[in-house]
Amino acid sequence: MHALAQRIDALLTRRSVALGAGLIVVVGLVSAVLNIVLGHYPQTLVGTTLAPDYLAHWTGGRLLLDGRTGVLYDSGIQHQLQLPVSGGAPEVSWFVGPPIAALLFAPFAALPYLASVIAWSLVSVSLLVASMLLMRPMLPRLGGSLYAVVVLAVAATQPVLEAVGVGQDSALSLFLWASGLRLFRAGRDGWAGAVLAIGMVKPQLFVLVPLVLLTQRRWRGLAGWSASASALLGLSLVVLGPSVLRDWVTMLRSDQYQDVIQSGQAWMMQGVPSLFAAIAPPQFSGAAQAAGYLVSAALVAALTLVAWRAPRVVLPVWTLTCLTTVVASPHLLGYDLVMALPALLYLLDRHDVRAVRVWLVVLVALSWSSLPRHRWAGTALWPWVAVAASWCTIPLLALWAVLWRDCRALPEDGVVTAPLEGAEVLG
């Protein structure tokens, strides 16, 4: 294994990374254009609806604009609304986001579907670019001409290309995290908390924020978060009514949600509970998932420990919060891995060592192989079905351990010592 790691690491030159990432981006863009142009709108060449995940967001916004908030989470009503713009797709692209998400997408849903997809795609790309610009000052060793290679490498990752291609809202989550980190770093805790509270449009990706604010005794940040979250909740109640919030909670607890979303998309879930459930024999999947929740709780407890010990530490603790959310979440799909970028890039900047670089390569390889592995082994019997599991959790846990060790070693004043020794980044 040591020799293999050496050989992999030796390939990671700036030139090879830039060429490989550039090739992936070009192939991805050409494939996306051909998939649309050679298809029969609204169906693509491969037989899916254009931006299939975005269709769910558009549906939530459209039902709100139509005044049908009482049936916002009715999958049958959603399917009827989608039929004219999906080309008669037999399956519903189910809007399951919180009520505030319907408000977010309402302006886009006022447009015809094709124009709406284009508008949201432009917004997503803009948010990704803005996020990389926001993170640049926090990554001093990855600056200069090297940062262009880093940006190209990020653009070539499977989660980024998937998030844009299927019309997901992951770019917004990344932008909020990057903005929050910059504001914390500038000492503007109140604004940082307020910005991160907007992430409650996708609450499973921001659920740890108030906990860490409380643990670090960042009272201005907690006040900003509380005010912003209360405003979003109040806006939802005023515009949609309290019954819609109850409908959302009821939907999340329904058997249909468990079958279609949690079980049906389990192979795309990235957290420890999903991995444990996917690799265990079917008769033990429930117990394995429960064990995964215990591990997730331990990870959150470990995060809380370092946050309490170093209340003035910003980047290490908050990038660890990002990464802990990813590995501990019971509902975080492949495209949402983009929100791990602040933590992963911080690690690459801080720890320019072979182990970190190789684990990042393993993560990229596993994310790109996720769909082929699912198609090959997704319907196989145990133990072969375990091949289809989202093994990205393993390199993520390894990188989490490096970052957590970093946080434990930091003094309370947050002064960071010199980075670990290693070869030049992407030598």
User: Helix/strand/coil (H, E, C) string of the chain?
Assistant: CHHHHHHHHHCCCHHHHHHHHHHHHHHHHHHHHHHHHCCECCECCCCCECCHHHHHHHHHHHHHHCCCHHHCCCHHHHHHHHHHHHCCCCCCCCCCCCHHHHHHHHHHHCCCHHHHHHHHHHHHHHHHHHHHHHHHHHCHHHCCHHHHHHHHHHHCCHHHHHHHHHCCCHHHHHHHHHHHHHHHHCCCHHHHHHHHHHHHHCHHHCCCHHHHHHHCCCHHHHHHHHHHHHHHHHHHHHHHCHHHHHHHHHHHCCHHHHHHHHHCCHHHCCCHHHHHHHHCCHHHHHHHHHHHHHHHHHHHHHHHHHHHHCCCCCHHHHHHHHHHHHHHCCCCCHHHHHHHHHHHHHHHHHECCHHHHHHHHHHHHHHHCHHHHHHHHCCCCCCHHHHHCCCCHHHHHHHHHHHHHHHHHCCCCCCCCCCECCCCCCC
The pLDDT value given to residue 325: 96
* Distance, CA of 94 to CA of 262 (rounded, Å): 13
Contact assessment for residue 147 and residue 179, using Cβ atoms and an 8 Å cutoff? no
Contact assessment for residue 43 and residue 392, using Cβ atoms and an 8 Å cutoff? no
The pLDDT value given to residue 103: 95
The pLDDT value given to residue 413: 52
The pLDDT value given to residue 400: 97
Contact assessment for residue 9 and residue 354, using Cβ atoms and an 8 Å cutoff? yes
The pLDDT value given to residue 420: 42
Whole-structure pTM value? 0.93
List, for residues 366-384, the tens digit of each pLDDT value: 999 998 998 888 888 899 9
Is the bond leading into 330 cis (omega within 30 degrees of zero)? no
Q: Which residues of the chain have pLDDT under 50?
A: 414-427
The pLDDT value given to residue 422: 40
* 325 closest CA partner among 221, 177, 222, 186: 177
